[in-house]
Amino acid sequence: MSTSLSDILTSDQRELFTKLTGSMNRDQLIWASGYLAGKLAQHAGAVEPVQTETITIAENVPSLTVLYGSRTGNGEGLAKKAREIASAQGLAVTVKSMENYKLHDLPTEKNLIVIVSTHGEGEPPLAAKGLHEHIFSKRAPGLEGVNYAVLALGDSSYFQFCQTGKDFDSQLEKLGATKKVPMIACDVDFEEPAEQWLKDTIASFATDSVVKSSNATRAFRMDQSGQKTVKTEASSFTKKNPFLAPVLEKISLHGKGSERQTLHLELNTEEAKDLLFEPGDAAGIIPLNPVALVNEVLQVTGQQASAPVDVKGNKTTLYEALYRDFELSKITTDVIGRYLNLKPNAELQKLVEKPEKYKEYLKGRDIVDLFQEYPAKLSAQELILLLRPLQARYYSIASSPKAYPGELHLTVGIVKFEDNGRLKHGTCSNYLSDVNIENETVQLFIESNPAFRLPENEETPIIMVGAGTGIAPFRAFVQHRELSEKRGKSWLFFGNRNFESEFLYQAEWLEYLKSGALTNMSVAFSRDSPQKEYVQQRLFENAPEIYKWVEEGAHIYICGDMKKMAGDVQAAFIKIIEKQGVMKKEQALEYFDNLQKEKRYQLDVY
C-alpha cells in the first residue's frame, strides 16, 4: 500500500516541508537527502536497520542532462545506463525524453549528453523530430556555455548511417555549444561500445568539478542478515541470451494460385515466464544462414569448410562461422568499405564514388555476387573479418498474451526473388519456413515498441491500417480488445494483392466482426481489378466517418511498408482532415502534427 505525505505529516508540517523543498535547488536537495538519511540512521529501533556511510559530495555538484530520442527502447536503455554511471561519479543527473523536452531549456543546460537514433534513410525518430527541427530553425538559441556530447545509434547498412546524430553533433556546435568529446556512431551491435563511451564521457564531465569532502551521509536498507539489500529485476531474455522456443504450429496463410507465401507461426513460450510482451511489441528472431548459400560462399572464395577461424576469441570452423555468425544474404556499405581497405580495387572504388549507381548495385546483391564481380584472394580469417555479424530480424507479434498465454504468434512473409541471374532467399523468413516443428527451436527475444501501444483507456476508438504482413500487430490488438470489459470501437483497413489467395486471417476477422470485437473492416485488393486500389482509397470512401472518429479521440495505427504505403496513408489522412474539417492545408498539417504529439497517430513501419 502506498503512503502519501498526508499520512505521515501534520498539516503544519506538510506546509513547511512543501515550502522548504519547493524552494531548494538540485544541490541543496542532494545535501538534504543525505542529512535526512543520517537522521533516519539514528533511529535504531526502526523495523529495517539502516546503515550510514560517509561519502564525498562536490561543493558545487556538477549537473548533467541526458536527452534521448529513439523509436524503440534502445536509446532509453542507454540513457538509464548513463544515469547509473553519472550518479556513481557524483553528478546530479537528469534523464529526459526529447519527446517531452521543453525547448526553451536547451540554452540553460550546462552539461548535456544527446542519445539519438536515425530512422530509415536519415530521418529523426518521431520523439526527436521537434527538437531536431528547433535547432535548425530561425528560433534556434545560442548555446554558448553548454558542454555536450552525442551518442548516435544507427545501422551501417543504410547510406545515411547515424545521420540524425551527425545533425545534432554539428548543429549544436554551430549554435555555440562546446563539444566535450567526439561523437560516437554506434552500429546495430551497440551495447559494448556505447557503454564504454558513456563511462569515458561522463568521467570527463565529472572531472570538471573539484570534489570536496562533506559530512553528508548515504543510507541504504539492510536485510535482517546484515547484508545490503539490492533491488534486482527479473531476468529477461535478450539478443545475447535468447529463449529457445519450440514451434507449435506452422500454417500457410495463402490460398492456391498465389505467387507469394505467408506463414502463420506459433511458438511455445510456456517455459519463459519472464518473456513479457504487449500488443505492439516485436519478436527478435536470430536466424541461421541457408546451407546452399554457405556452400556458394565457400566455392566462390575457394575456401575449405573445415578451415579454422577465430570469431571474437572463439575458435571454430569457417563453415560454422558462415552458417551461424555472419550476414551472407546482403552486402552493405560497411562491408564494401572493409573489402576496399583490405583488397583495393579500382573498378569497385569508381562504383562507390557514384552514389546513385552504388545504391542500385547494393539492392538485392549478396556476398557471392560481390566476390564473383570483384574477386580477390582471401584467407579464411580475412573473409570473416570482412563480414557483418548476422543480425536478428524483427517481426511484429501477431498475438495477445491475454488471448494466448504461453504462446507467441508471428506472421512471416517468405522472401524469394531472382537477381543477377541467381535465386535469392530472405535469410530469416526462409529459415522459419524450413524449421522443423517436431524437434527444432527458434531463438527469440522481445523488442519493446513503446511507440506502438493501444490506448490506456480501453473505450478509446482505434483505427488500424495495415497491408500484407502489416496485419500482424492488429490481430494482437483485436484479440486484446476482445477480452476487455469495456472496449471501444475499432476499424481495420487491410490491403493485399488478391482476395481469394491473400486475405490473411479472413475467417478470424469475420468472427471478430460477428462478436463485436471488431466494429468495421474495409479491404482493398490491388490485383483484383484493372484499376489498382489500395487502402487509401478505402480511407477516402469513408472520410466523413473517419473524421468523426478522429474528432471523438480515436487513435490511428499504421503498419507496413515505410517507403510507399505509410507515406500514401499519411497523405490520405491529412487530406481527409483538410476536407472534412474545412481547413486550410496549413491548419490540417498542424492538426495532424498534434495527433502525432499526442501519440494518437502511431507507426510500425519497415
Three-state SS annotation for 447-496: ECCCCCCCCCCCCCCEEEEEEHHHHHHHHHHHHHHHCCCCCCCEEEEEEE
- Tell me whether residue 176 is in a domain: yes
Q: Are 334 and 435 within one domain?
A: no
- Tell me whether residue 132 is in a domain: yes
Number of domains in the chain: 5
Q: Are 36 and 174 within one domain?
A: no
Rounded distance between C-alpha atoms, residue 52 and residue 39, angstroms:
10
> Which of the residues in the chain have pLDDT under 70?
1-61, 208-235
**Nearest alpha-carbon partner for 218 in 35, 49, 461:** 35
What pLDDT is stored for residue 188 in this prediction?
85
- Tell me whether residue 332 is in a domain: yes
530: DSSP letter: S
Mode of pairing for the β-strands spanning 393-396 and 63-69: unpaired
- Look up cell 536515425; give the residue: 118
- What residues does 66 pair with on adjacent strands? 95, 113
CB burial of residue 184 (10 Å; 0-12, 13-18, 19+): buried
Q: Are 226 and 248 within one domain?
A: no
Q: Are 174 and 97 within one domain?
A: yes
> In Å, how far are 149, 192, 196, 197 from 81, measured between CA atoms?
15, 12, 11, 11
Q: Are 34 and 72 within one domain?
A: no
- Domain of residue 279, residue span: 243-287+392-447
Cell of 154: 544507427
- Look up cell 534502445; give the residue: 74
- Tell me whether residue 355 is in a domain: yes
**Nearest alpha-carbon partner for 427 in 285, 317, 319, 320:** 285
What pLDDT is stored for residue 158 in this prediction?
81
Q: Are 468 and 584 within one domain?
A: yes
Q: Are 253 and 361 within one domain?
A: no
Q: What angle do CA 196, 199, 201 make, to 5 degrees?
A: 105
Cβ atoms 124, 70 nearer than 8 A: no
> In Å, how far are 279, 397, 400, 454, 513 from 404, measured between CA atoms?
12, 12, 6, 18, 20
Q: Are 399 and 493 within one domain?
A: no
Q: Are 510 and 581 within one domain?
A: yes
Rounded distance between C-alpha atoms, residue 243 and residue 322, angstroms:
22
Q: Are 309 and 429 within one domain?
A: no
* pTM for this predicted structure: 0.79
Cβ atoms 183, 152 nearer than 8 A: yes
- Tell me whether residue 70 is in a domain: yes
- Tell me whether residue 18 is in a domain: no
Q: Are 145 and 279 within one domain?
A: no
Rounded distance between C-alpha atoms, residue 488 and residue 458, angstroms:
6
